[in-house]
Structure 1
């Protein structure tokens, strides 16, 4: 094979060009991060060596027999979002299995989670890392985690202080795309059903508001109680909106469970979906494919979130001093049959079709 050479000091862009990969891939290979195929890794290392690039030795990114605890809120895991978190756990388990590690899921009461409970769990399981799945830990607990130097990854969560590794779906951009889809269908008065009890959910509110502001549409935020775990609260809230008769023609719901409740209320009022009213969901949970008509929603790759979280944990254990990394995974539109242009009301003297 022909050797490559340069007349100047090589850079990562040169390695990427000769190896036929992205600069990001080169950076990950040189940092010995997981998630890169053996062939690509060998190719990048070979090109880097031939160019005379100074490859610094780094700790192994795949420690053996890694034992990690995944803490999941009991109310989330056993409620309507159970399938969401089961998908994340499936991704975590798969990544752990492939790397020879062990994942130990534990249900906790996130509202009362304390350092003493974590200490006991770590001692009991002999775990070397903690996944906080759907948990936004209080400030005092964050302080203890940092002081104790326990590798910690927030899964389906965002650390506003940028102290921890985090992975989540692209909540802001996904919500903005969802809202734009509803607006593009011709809707000018749109509801948003939400519970803003977590930072990730507030990002969906921001995405909704950004799209609405850009397009000058009329909106209303329908705030449900933080303890809402079924579609019942969304149904009752939508019933109240319909009684107000404020002329809204569409609703974007923060998750599919809420969308199911909204659709139930519309059906109770003999409104056709989407002819009379459009409904947009988020998450693409199994219930989205069971509605009639099929719910239009945003797909979240839950297994990929779990896999990426495990890679972040491997990186953190291999290099404890690395800067925290915040990863957002793209979401995509799932074209159902619950969003279309609103039904035009006949003008005076005009017959309806």
Structure 2
């Protein structure tokens, strides 16, 4: 072994010492997916102990790929994801990490398709943006030991790293704003399969449960057409019932715009007769009359945090998964009375 160390160590030498094939060594040093974690760590240990390129042996990022749910982007949330991608790009640039973006329909995010995308991009790390991976995809990502970060997402079992807004606390705070303004019958317009959105429902319910006499009513949306139009129609139907509803917390600002339109058309004054709180602080929040009261999500910060998680994952692939939760900040607006 000392004889090998006197010359420049080759991948063939590492393969001999580690008892594996040269192609396996090559794939590990290039951070390619599909190698078991035990084999990967064994090869990296042998390489490091024998002085092979410390940068490569430490598993530096070969590149990263962000897959973004095209369903969400084309559904009107492109400005939301634009901020996240800006953060990812900035974070990757600061970290010296090659970075690419692709759109994909969430139902097509299968192991075979994702593997093909990663191979084409030459990526060793994967960002899933607005995508909750299926059980099948999660199992493959774990088995192949692929560094993966959920962006604007959470894994309920915390198998994967993630960066997300504080959806539970943000929804709790949004609902509390309405309760503090004296409202006791409050709508929550929502509808999604995503873990992040279920957390907002949970925050809404938790805030309602803490105030005696308060009642919360969930209004489910299908999103089969414009969210604004659907929210408008659903809210108009609820108001027609004359059930005493005086406020609404909305899953996002687009929905809040539709609620505001319906309330105004019903002849109610906002915020005197009816109060509304949105979520995300999208540009449309400043365009309504009055401007929406909402909850700001720092989308650029989410992207930057995700890159930090990816860099840490490449340095220590065996570390426990982490979930970074960013505070959601109330924006005053004009659809809730100022205290």
TM-score bin, normalised by smaller chain:
0.7 to 0.9
Alpha-carbon deviation of 1:124?
A: 0.7
Alpha-carbon deviation of 1:63?
A: 6.8
1:314 is aligned, of 311, 314, 326, to 311
Report the Cα distance in structure 1 between the residues aligned to 2:173 and 2:324, rounded to whole angstroms.
Answer: 19
Report the Cα distance in structure 1 between the residues aligned to 2:111 and 2:245, rounded to whole angstroms.
Answer: 47
Alpha-carbon deviation of 1:270?
A: 2.1
Where structure 1 has 5 or more consecutive residues not aligned to the other structure, the ranges are 1-57, 342-353
Matches for 1:151-170 after TM superposition, within 5 Å: 151-170=147-166
With normalisation by structure 2, the TM-score equals 0.80
1:209 is the counterpart of 2:205: yes
What's 2:231 paired with? 234
What's 1:93 paired with? 89
Alpha-carbon deviation of 1:101?
A: 1.5
1:78 is the counterpart of 2:78: no
Q: Is contact 1:59-1:318 (8 Å) kept?
A: no
Please identify runs of 4+ aligned residues in structure 1 that moved more than 6 A: none
Instruction: State the secondary structure of the residue aligned to 1:206.
Output: helix
1:118 is the counterpart of 2:114: yes
Report the Cα distance in structure 2 between the residues aligned to 1:229 and 1:191, rounded to whole angstroms.
Answer: 19
Q: Is contact 1:67-1:102 (8 Å) kept?
A: yes
Report the Cα distance in structure 2 between the residues aligned to 1:65 and 1:162, rounded to whole angstroms.
Answer: 22
What's 2:173 paired with? 177
Q: Is contact 1:129-1:150 (8 Å) kept?
A: yes
Q: How many residues align?
A: 285
2:182 is aligned, of 182, 186, 209, to 186
Where structure 2 has 5 or more consecutive residues not aligned to the other structure, the ranges are 1-53
Q: Is contact 1:190-1:250 (8 Å) kept?
A: yes
1:105 is aligned, of 101, 106, 109, to 101
Q: Is contact 2:60-2:314 (8 Å) kept?
A: no
Q: Is contact 1:64-1:100 (8 Å) kept?
A: no
Report the Cα distance in structure 2 between the residues aligned to 1:163 and 1:228, rounded to whole angstroms.
Answer: 34
1:272 is aligned, of 269, 273, 281, to 269
2:195 is aligned, of 182, 199, 202, to 199
With normalisation by structure 1, the TM-score equals 0.77
| Higher helix residue share | 2
Alpha-carbon deviation of 1:65?
A: 6.0
1:256 is the counterpart of 2:256: no
Q: Is contact 1:250-1:279 (8 Å) kept?
A: yes
Q: Is contact 1:255-1:281 (8 Å) kept?
A: yes
Report the Cα distance in structure 2 between the residues aligned to 1:247 and 1:239, rounded to whole angstroms.
Answer: 13
Q: Is contact 2:154-2:164 (8 Å) kept?
A: yes
More divergent stretch after superposition (69-78 vs 292-301): 69-78
Q: Note the aligned Cα RMSD (angstroms).
A: 2.0
